[in-house]
Structure 1
Amino acid sequence: MAHSVFPDVPAPQPTRQHFPALDGLRGVAALAVVVFHFMEMVIGNYSQLFIGHGWLAVDFFFCLSGFVIGYAYDDRIGSMGLRMFARVRLIRLHPMVVFGSVLGLIALYADPFRATPLGLSPGQVSLIFLASVFLIPYPAMQERSFCLFSLNSPAWSLFWEYIANIVYALFLCRLGRRGVVVATVVAAAILCAVGYTQGNLWAGFNGETFWVGAARVNFSFLAGLLVYRSGFLIKTRLGFTAPAVLLALALMTPYATGGWIREATVIMLVFPALVMLGAGVTLNERSKRFCKFAGDISYPLYTTHYAVIYAFGNYVDTKHPGTAELTLVIVGGVVATVAFAYVVMRCYDMPLRSYLSREKPMSGRVPGAN
C-alpha cells in the first residue's frame, strides 16, 4: 500500500537534524498492515474489523516518503545526478522486491492448504515471477483478485513509490514551493473525485483499480514534500506514544455512510499532521532505540509477510477454525512474520545493501541511502 514506501529517515550528520519518531511511526504502520491482512482473511467486511481502515497505512507511507525524500535529496540531487539517485534508490528498495518475489513463488507451490490445483503452466508462472522481480504490473491471477503483483500483493505500492521517485527526480526536485502547493491542491481534488465516484478510497492493488493507486500516491507524496518544503513541524515533548496512538486510531476509524469523506480527511489532514508531529517530537534514548528498530524492520516486514497471508487465507477457507484457534494462529502468525522479517533484515537486506553500496565508491554518504 511506497520506503520510499519506506525511505530511511536520514542518519544524523553534524548539520542535519534526525527524525527518529518517523522511523517508529513507519514501523507501527507496517505492523498494522500485517494485522489488517491477517484479519481481512477472516472477516471480509471491513466495517466489522477493529482495524478496518488498516489499508490507509499505505497513504501514510506515501506521505512520509514525500517528506523524507525531499529532506534527503532536495539539496543533493543536483550534485548527485539522476544516475546516482536512481542507483541509491534501487539499492535501498530492490533487494527486498526480489526477495519478496522469490518468497511468493515458493509459497505459491508450497502452500499446504491449497484446495484446488494451481491451474497455471510453468510458463505462466515464470512470466508472473519475472514481472514481479522487475516490478512490472501484471494482473494475471483470477484467484488472487487480479492483483498487480500476484506473488506479493503489497508490491503494488512499491511500484507507485518507484513512479513517485522518478517524478521527483525529473520534475519535483526543481519545482518551487508555490508549484508544490498548486500540485497538491490539484491532487487533493483528484483524490476527492475518486472517493466520490467510488464511494471509498480503498483500491489500487489490482488491474481494475489501477489508477486509484495513482491518485493516492499523487496526493500523499506531494503533501509530504510540501510539509518538508514549508518547514511545518509541530514541536512537542509528548514523546513517541502520542503520535503512535494517533496513527493507530486513524487506522481504526469506523466505517459509516459517506465513508470516503472521513478517509479523505485522514489522508489529507491527519497523516500530514502526524508527519509534522513525528518530525517535531522530542524522544528519550529508550524511545529512540525502539524507533530505530521499528524503522529498520518495517520494510522487510512489509515485503515478506504476504506469502504467509496467502497460506493463512487458504487455511481459513479449508479448515474453518474456531475463534480460539484463529486467535492463536493470528497472534502466532504476526509474531512469526516479525521474527522472520528481522532475520531477513539482518542476514539478507542489510548485508546486500552494504555490499552493493561499496561496489562503486560514492563521494560522501547520501542521507537515506544506508
Structure 2
Amino acid sequence: MTSKSLIDGPAVAGKSDIWPLLAILRFFFAAWVLFDHTYNFGPADRAMPIFTKSGLVAVMCFFVISGYSIHHSIAHRPDGYGARRFWRIAPINVLAVAIGYVAYVVLGLSGGYGTPPVAPSALTWIGSLLLLECVLPVTIPFLFPAWSLSIEVLYYFAAPTLVKSKNSFAIPAAALLSAILFVRWPYIRDEYIAQPTYFVSAAALLWAWLAGWLAYSHRGHRPMLVAFTAAGILGIWTQAKFFGIVDFESGAANVLAWFLTLVVVFLDVRVPLSRELRAIANYLGDISFPLYLLHYPVLFAVTSSIFKRHPEWNYGIVQVIIALISAVLAYHFVDRPLRSGTKQTSRTRDTVINYPSPVADTN
C-alpha cells in the first residue's frame, strides 16, 4: 500500500511545521486502502464506505510523501541513513510474512480472500522477506500490499546518489520519462500497475516519488506543481478503471487527493497545532505503516478462520477494528522498540563525534 509515506514521518519539534500534517495524510491514505480492502474480505453490503474501490491514488500519494521525507532524512542526517531505513521497514515486513506463513502453512488456513491458487515455494517466501515483489514474480496474494514497499526500497537505494545531484536536470528528466510510461501503460499492457515485475512498476511510479523529492528541494515551485498535477490527472484518466472511477464523485476524489498532496509538499503547508494535537497526529502517522502492511495478512487469517465459523461477524467495521488493534500492537511491541534502540545508538555516536543536533525523526 510504506513516509513520509507510509513508512516515514519525522516527528519534528516545533510550533508550526509540515510533519504533523504529513502524518495525518499518511494515516488517512492507509485508512483509505484499508477501507477499500474490506470489499475484498467480505460481502460488499457490509464493507466500509469509501471514495473509490481502489487504493492506487493513495499509494501514489504515499510515494510523494515518501520522496519528500526521505530527501529530508538523507540531506539533514546522512549518517546512519541506511540503518534507519532497514529498521524502519524490515521488522514490520518480517512480521507480515510471519503472520501469513503461520496462518497458511502452520495452521493450514485457506478459503478466504487472498488464498494463493498455488502453494508458495520456499523461494517465494524468501523473496517476500527480501521485498523482491517488484523485481521477481514472488508476490503472495495475502501479502499483496508489500508491492509498493518493494518499490520504495529501490528508491531508498537511489537516494544517496540523488542527494548528490540536487540540481541535476537528470532528476526532472527521469520524472518526465517515468510519467510518460505511467500514462501510456494501459496502451502497453492492460494490467494493474502493481502486477508487472522486473522493475517495470518501479520505473512507472518513480515520477510520483520524485515529485516529493523535488518538492523538498524546490519548495514553492509552482510550474513543477502544475506539471506533476497534470501528469497525475492524465494517469488517472488513462487508468480510470484501475483507480476505481465509476462516476464523477470517484473521479473527483482521486484527482483531489492527488492535487492536495502535491500542494502540501510543494507549497510547504504548515499547520500550527497544540502539543496534544501534534502528539495525536504523529501517533497516527506512526501506526500508518504497520496498518498498511499488516492488514492484509491479518484479515486473511481472520476471514479464513473466525469469520468462516461466524460469518455474521464479518463486517467492515470489525475488520477495521481488528486491523487497527494489530497495527497498534505491532507499533508498540515491534516497530517502536527496535527503532528506538537503533536511534539511541545513533544519537550517542553523533554526540561522541560532536555532530550538531539533527532534527528529530523516526526514520
How high is the TM-score relative to the length of structure 1?
Answer: 0.73
Percent sequence identity over aligned pairs: 23
* Counterpart amino acid of residue 225 in structure 1: W
Aligned to 2:153: 162
Q: Return 5+ residue gaps in structure 1 as ranges.
A: 141-145, 235-251
* RMSD of equivalent CA atoms: 4.1
- Alpha carbons of 1:270 and 1:178: their partners in 2 closer, same or farther (altered >3 Å)? farther
What does 1:184-333 correspond to in 2, within 5 Å? 184-198=175-189, 202-204=192-194, 206-207=195-196, 211-216=200-205, 218-232=206-220, 255-256=245-246, 269-276=259-266, 279-311=269-301, 325=312, 329-333=315-319
Aligned to 1:171: 162
Of 293, 314, 321, 1:335 maps to 321
- Alpha carbons of 1:20 and 1:267: their partners in 2 closer, same or farther (altered >3 Å)? closer
- Alpha carbons of 1:11 and 1:286: their partners in 2 closer, same or farther (altered >3 Å)? closer
Give the whole-Å Cα distance in 2 for the aligned partners of 1:228 and 1:150: 35
- Alpha carbons of 1:120 and 1:181: their partners in 2 closer, same or farther (altered >3 Å)? closer
- Alpha carbons of 1:268 and 1:292: their partners in 2 closer, same or farther (altered >3 Å)? closer
Aligned to 1:22: 22
Q: CA deviation at 1:21?
A: 0.8
Give the whole-Å Cα distance in 2 for the aligned partners of 1:55 and 1:71: 25
1:301-344, Cα deviation, whole Å (9 max, x unpaired): 112111133346657997896xxx47x52211111110121011
Alpha carbons 1:297, 1:342 under 8 Å: kept: yes
Instruction: Tell me which moved more, 131-140 or 343-352.
Output: 131-140
2:22 matched to 1:34? no
2:341 matched to 1:355? yes
Aligned to 1:238: none
Alpha carbons 2:142, 2:297 under 8 Å: kept: yes
- Alpha carbons of 1:2 and 1:215: their partners in 2 closer, same or farther (altered >3 Å)? farther
Aligned to 1:97: 93
Aligned to 2:233: none
- Alpha carbons of 1:228 and 1:316: their partners in 2 closer, same or farther (altered >3 Å)? same
1:186-240, Cα deviation, whole Å (9 max, x unpaired): 322222111444568x431x35696234312x01110011111111399xxxxxx
Give the whole-Å Cα distance in 1 for the aligned partners of 2:197 and 2:9: 34
Q: CA deviation at 1:74?
A: 2.0
Give the whole-Å Cα distance in 1 for the aligned partners of 2:57 and 2:252: 11
Give the whole-Å Cα distance in 1 for the aligned partners of 2:324 and 2:68: 26
Aligned to 1:237: none
* Counterpart amino acid of residue 6 in structure 1: L
Give the whole-Å Cα distance in 2 for the aligned partners of 1:184 and 1:319: 49
- Alpha carbons of 1:52 and 1:15: their partners in 2 closer, same or farther (altered >3 Å)? closer
- Alpha carbons of 1:120 and 1:349: their partners in 2 closer, same or farther (altered >3 Å)? same
- Alpha carbons of 1:277 and 1:294: their partners in 2 closer, same or farther (altered >3 Å)? farther
1:58-100, Cα deviation, whole Å (9 max, x unpaired): 11110000111112222443xx3xxx32112111211111111
Give the whole-Å Cα distance in 1 for the aligned partners of 2:187 and 2:118: 38
Give the whole-Å Cα distance in 1 for the aligned partners of 2:4 and 2:150: 10
Give the whole-Å Cα distance in 1 for the aligned partners of 2:124 and 2:10: 34
Aligned to 2:144: 153
- Alpha carbons of 1:270 and 1:15: their partners in 2 closer, same or farther (altered >3 Å)? closer
Give the whole-Å Cα distance in 1 for the aligned partners of 2:50 and 2:26: 22
* Counterpart amino acid of residue 10 in structure 1: P
1:125-149, Cα deviation, whole Å (9 max, x unpaired): 4333222222223999xxxxx6624
Aligned to 1:126: 122
- Alpha carbons of 1:171 and 1:254: their partners in 2 closer, same or farther (altered >3 Å)? closer
Alpha carbons 1:128, 1:150 under 8 Å: kept: no
How many residues are aligned here?
330
Give the whole-Å Cα distance in 1 for the aligned partners of 2:130 and 2:3: 17
Alpha carbons 2:54, 2:243 under 8 Å: kept: yes
Q: CA deviation at 1:151?
A: 5.2
